[in-house]
Structure 1
Amino acid sequence: MNKLALIIILIFSIQCKSQSNIIDSKDRCNHAPINRNNGNLYTKDISNIYAPFIGVWKWTSGNREMVLTLIKQTKYHLISGNFNYYEDRLVGYYVYKENGVTIIDTSGDDLSEGYGLKVNFDISCSGRVSTASFKDVKKEKYFIVGLEKLSPTQMKFTGKVGEGTYLIGRTPTTVYLGSTFPLEMVFTKQ
């Protein structure tokens, strides 16, 4: 009987040891250092910060229009380079038109990619939704974008040209000035 109890305790101990460490995405900056390479970490959107941003959003101004679609991926397994962990993330795609003509359409992107996504948002250390990446395909450059919920049906999109090393491994490929689309927009939920 003692052997059976010992075996049960041993199996239970091994199972408990192999479970993931779950950290609320908004609190990940308070847990330093975070081991992101052993597959046992899960940065989860426990506080549901992404929830108000999920859906299809539309901005129009005169003859210009942008439709932004945002999707929450739950427990996405990121394996790349030194990284091996799970995370909740907000990804998506956009279609930008002028005079009814499509200028940029990223809707064919593979949203299961770990890196190289054109639309990918994180929860910053301040608890705000901001970019991991947002690419202007036509200008071949990435922008830093923040999203701010204005009401249940509106959100503000504020972008600026990325500087420094926030996009590790991505170097500027062109010298195109400006952006294809405005970097200040108010989107309405569709």
Structure 2
Amino acid sequence: MKNIFLISIFFLSFSCKAQQTYPLNTDFRTLPNNAYSKDLNNELMPFIGTWKATFDNKEITIKVDKVDHHYIKLGMHLYYQDVLFIRYSIKNAQGTIIKSTLNLPITEAKIKSDITFPDQNLVSFVYQGGDCQYGWGDVDLTFVDATHIKWNYQPEGVILTNKNCPNGADTTIYLPKTPNLVFTKQ
């Protein structure tokens, strides 16, 4: 009898500490610390894969990967969330790679999903920018069909000074700055 009581106490204490799971688009400000914002409806799945497009005589390849249970710290908010990361490669007309982040570990990619809009088949991302955060802004991917997505990148303005960006920093924006660029799944 004593063993049953101890086992019951153990399971009760474990279940009280179990991580709480919430739908993906739950406002992070309402999540308790260490909660899990999970992709319960598979909203992220259609975007996963390798996609290619051509723009301005450049071949752009993006690789979209999903990371489940990714730890996020926003100010005082600490939680886990299923997220997408985008890594990319850009080749010029001669096929030479002019910029690539494909060799980075997935979670070090500087383009991470932020929120989904299921009724619009859209995932919004935050791009941290390149050197000196130059080019930071928003990237939206819209699911068109099983083989096509649309890309929309809107960089924010940045004031560069020698104080916040040393000489020699790469201030080129490589990502295609155009709305509705269609990518094809590879």
TM over 0.5: yes
Q: Partners of 1:11 and 1:25 in 2: how far apart?
A: 30
Secondary structure of 1:10's counterpart equals: helix
Partner amino acid, structure 1, of 2:50: V
- The aligned residue for residue 17 of structure 1 is 16
Identity of aligned residues (%): 25
- The aligned residue for residue 150 of structure 1 is 144
Q: TM-score, normalised by structure 1?
A: 0.76
Q: Partners of 2:64 and 2:76 in 1: how far apart?
A: 27
Post-superposition Cα deviations, 1:62-116, rounded to whole Å, max 9, x if no partner, equal 6211000001111123468645322111013101122223221111223234xxx
Secondary structure of 2:114's counterpart equals: strand
Secondary structure of 1:72's counterpart equals: strand
Secondary structure of 1:135's counterpart equals: coil
Determine if contact 2:130/2:171 at 8 Å carries over to the other structure: no
Secondary structure of 2:105's counterpart equals: coil
Determine if contact 1:143/1:162 at 8 Å carries over to the other structure: yes
Q: Which runs of 5+ in 2 are unaligned?
A: 162-169
- The aligned residue for residue 182 of structure 2 is 186
Relative to structure 1, the CA distance from residue 159 to residue 79 in structure 2 (aligned partners, 3 Å threshold; closer, same or farther) is closer
Q: TM-score, normalised by structure 2?
A: 0.78
Aligned length: 172
Q: Partners of 2:115 and 2:133 in 1: how far apart?
A: 26
Determine if contact 1:133/1:143 at 8 Å carries over to the other structure: yes
Relative to structure 1, the CA distance from residue 132 to residue 69 in structure 2 (aligned partners, 3 Å threshold; closer, same or farther) is same
Relative to structure 1, the CA distance from residue 154 to residue 138 in structure 2 (aligned partners, 3 Å threshold; closer, same or farther) is farther
